Structure 1
Amino acid sequence: MSDFQKSFAKSRLAKLPPEAPIIFDDDNVEAEASSSYPTDEQSHHDDDSSSASSVSSTGTIIPSLTKHLFAKAGLGSSTSPSQWTDYFTQELYLSEDVHDTRVTHHVYLTPPAEKSAPLFVMHHGAGSSGLSFAVCAEEIRKILPKAGILSLDARNHGSTTLNKVNGGAGDQAELDLGLETLSRDLVFVIKDTQSKMGWETLPDIVLVGHSLGGAVITDVAKKGELGSKLLAYAVLDVVEGSAMDALQNMERYLSTRPSRFPSIASGIEWHTRSRTIRNRTSARISVPSLLHKEAEPTDPSKPWVWQTNLGATKPFWENWFVGLSRKFLDARGGKLLLLAGTDRLDKELMIGQMQGKYQLQVLPDAGHFIHEDQPAKTAQILVDFYKRNDRSTLVLPPKVADIQASSAMKKGLNGGLPKGGAGQSQVSSQGGLGSLKE
């Protein structure tokens, strides 16, 4: 390098900032958010374990301790909650009595615009809610405007409630988040939605499940309870091997994340700054449904706590994922596995992929909440997946029986024709049989 080039390079480098700044979706952050957050060292531990929330997220960026992750910023609307009505047209409450428990399932719904349009049925992961699919649902309808979206709150999540049938108003039913129970709930929600909406038949259904939801929709697909109406199913960022490995770190993750927040805005801020959810728009709609305000908080300065006690779900963790890979490969219908990293594939899925048994898509820029981090890309993949499995666009060859019946009919017409050109001409023009010999 010449002296002139060295001099030029030094002059250019001197003008650059000493360290690249951190860039978030919005620089305006509610000022109170920082007062409730842990120290820089604690924040580092939270970020280091955030990927363990269900299945680890490869590529998660861990902020440096010197970046003041939770530093105060100006007052703004970037952490203000969004409304579900911006993403769905209606909500339904579907009640059923199961043994001595009344379950009131809460779902968000945008019905299909016509009978031939599909219905995407979304099931969220553990600790999340139906609104985790809100932004993705909006993106799906931008591409496929007539499609329907149904996104449920699983029991003990979101606004779905459970109470003893013969108990008092405050009596809570025993926690049951077994895979069999959640699968049965999903089928009930789909069929009761059909009843409430007055649909003569179910639309063609595409099941979409994230993490725990992926295990639930795969179980439903394997059991075949939706029959021919199940067109295809898509599993988002969960496979059996890595899920079982991640469960070993779940308790550590739960012990390091904040247990309380002073406000909804601070909860949104924690999710985005820790990169648990990397899309602020999605966090603003999904996070409020993850928290509830205690009537008599043990810490009045932080009255907002988690809606779902993930620690209490530990007895069900292994039950969710054991046998997932085999069921995913064996169930009938189109299959899609959408991951944030190919390192998640276990041996069974790798063999299945090489055999072409399912479609594999990878979004390496996303974290574990792949549909929230990259809603537009996820939506495009899901719509393309539906179109590849849409039976209404298939042109099937005629059945052998139909060909034989048609041939017999033609022979009958030939045998019953009067001699002469007039009859031949009539059949030739109407039946398209060409010239007929006597």
Structure 2
Amino acid sequence: MRRLLNRMATLPTLICAVLLSLACGAAPDWDATNEAAKLAHSEGRLDEAREGFEEALEIAAGMEANDSRRVISLNNLGQFLRSQDRLDLAVPMFQRAAELREADPDVDRVELSADFGNLAGHLQRLGRLDEAMSYYERALAIQQDPDDGDPTQMGTTLNNMGMLAYMSNRLDAADDFYTRGMASMEASLLLDHPDVATVSNNLGQLRMAQGQIEEAEQYFERAIRIWSTNLGPDSDTVARCRGSRGEALRRLKRFDEAEEEHTRALRIFEAQSGADHPDVASSLNSIAVLARVTGRPEEAENNYRRAIEILEKATPNGSPDLGAARFNLARLLQERGKSSDAMILFEQAMITLESTLGPEHPNLIIVYTTYADMLVDAGQNERAATLRQRAESLR
């Protein structure tokens, strides 16, 4: 009897153990599945990895709404898809993860604002600019909150919103975002912080587009100084900003200073990226422009030809930079009386720019009108009239 009673006494404990095992059964399955997927991804077994991440997500879907593993599963699958250049499929995963986090009353709102900012960046890369702006606005709303606000992150978000507005040709809006972003960063960071240089560079680009060249040159100079201190004077970032300042100086007719900046940029690019890199071609093109306007046509032609040679190898399907270099050389050859060579290059420039920029791009106006003038001189009035009509339709 005593033995029977002892056995009966253990039944509740056994039942509880079984129930606990059943209740916790999903967690080990999810953990094991998720870890196996990550291992498969790291070892290059991509089909297995995707199946594993999808299975982990399916397991997590049966969990409580506020279970963090649901968000983790969505983000893991999204990161995997992004690593496979399927950002279009990754974004819905990230969006669902952000929605789940936003619905959680205990969510870390600073982290949520970062999620919104990352989503905006992904959407921007997909060309979905309106959606990107809406996520930046949601991030900014959190960052401006007195309790959850972060002035540094607010400055970054405002800068990113400025970039979106600039890309959409909303220059006044871009000006407002950049200016507010700069003020926020200057109030929360050291004045020589690299992020301050980023906004300063962007303001320089904006001022160039607005025709405020002197102010643009000052913004570029500030960005160069800050980046040189933080990244080193020979970084690619500094070189690109020197190229931008060089263009501003050229437009201000400070040709010697402009050429010095472009030459310094060229030396950095050659040392960092090699002599056949497209950045080298960009600097060569800019130096050629300066050689042309300062009366050194042979030097200009040599630099244009070298830039074109680099770009033809680097971008065999064409690029806007290749089209621009061909146009610049065509115009120089026209000035030097090499009409037949110039006409070939004008045709090549048109084809390249139409295919890479699109047939409705306003940058084609100067190409059409310049080539049309040459065709008139060559007696090809009908062809010239066609090109002028195209140019007029783009104004």
Could you say which structure has the larger radius of gyration?
2
TM-score (norm 1): 0.22
TM-score (norm 2): 0.24
Comparing both structures, which one devotes a greater share of its residues to strand? Answer: 1
Comparing both structures, which one devotes a greater share of its residues to helix? Answer: 2
